[in-house]
Amino acid sequence: MERSKYIVVEGPIGVGKTSLVHMLADRFDGRTILEKYDKNPFLEDFYQDNQAHAFQTQMFFLLNRYQQQSQIAQMDLLQRSLVADYCFAKDMIFAQLNLNEDELALYSQVYNLLKPNIPKPDLVILLQADIEVIMQRIRSRNYKYEKSITLDYVKDLIKAYNDFFFYYSDTPLLIINTSEIDFVNTPNDFEELVKEILQSHRGTQYFSPLSSKSFQ
């Protein structure tokens, strides 16, 4: 079965998207598109005071994501696969979570103008994890701009992701709970995922490797 040419790995902060993106790109000899969170000049202030800095933070992300994603249309995906660590549609998750009513109305006008120009992925892989696992991963990587992230904010973010992707139907969706799966250090888990990606996909499917603890 021919693999998907454009794969997106999605999920809330700290769930392990970037590591999996690099592994998939290496396996499929593909290119990567990685979100540059640390390039957002408003992000650290946003984590200090969500309400005061939400709109400028979100608009910077929206326009930066659009600039990155619009380049996909110029790529020859028949020659090399592409693996990204976010999909453009997820920008709305953060907007709905963080913006007030007036800000969201203005944001939505811009978002709806930009979205039709963005190519859709062939497959979205949604990574999930328990809140305790995510918080541990955030703390362990020790990024400066993440130091003030609160437990309540991450809980709200996880819920927003789950709500958004519950109704998601733009592309095939593969959902994976990574709380007891380690693609980096457990080769069998990764190999089973690669086999799954090589299959054809429709609608929403769930994946759990036979080697993971959930089957023991």
Residues shown for the chain: 216
Domain holding 33, by residue range, is 6-215
Cα–Cα distance for residue pair 20/190, rounded to 1 Å: 9
> What is the reported pTM?
0.86
Amino acid at 37: Y
Neighbours of 3 (CB within 10 A): 17
Residue 193 lies in a domain: yes
Instruction: Please name which of 147, 122, 53 lies closest in space to residue 94, comparing C-alpha atoms.
Output: 53
Proportion of the chain above pLDDT 70, given as a percent: 94
* 1: in domain: no
From the CB of residue 5, how many other CB atoms can be counted at a distance below 10 Å?
18
**Residue 119, in any domain of the structure:** yes
Q: Report yes or no on 200 lying in a domain.
A: yes
Reported as a pLDDT band with limits 50, 70 and 90, residue 211 is: low
Q: Give the CATH number, domain containing residue 106.
A: 3.40.50.300
Rounded to 5 degrees, what angle do the CA atoms 14, 18, 22 make? 155
- pLDDT of 20 over the 70 cut: yes
- pLDDT tens figures, 27-52: 999 999 998 887 899 988 998 888 89
Q: How many domains does the chain have?
A: 1
Lowest mean pLDDT across 63-67, 69-73, 107-111:
69-73
User: Tokens 């994603």 belong to which residue?
Assistant: 69
Would you place residue 4 in the very low, low, confident or very high pLDDT band (cuts 50, 70, 90)?
A: low
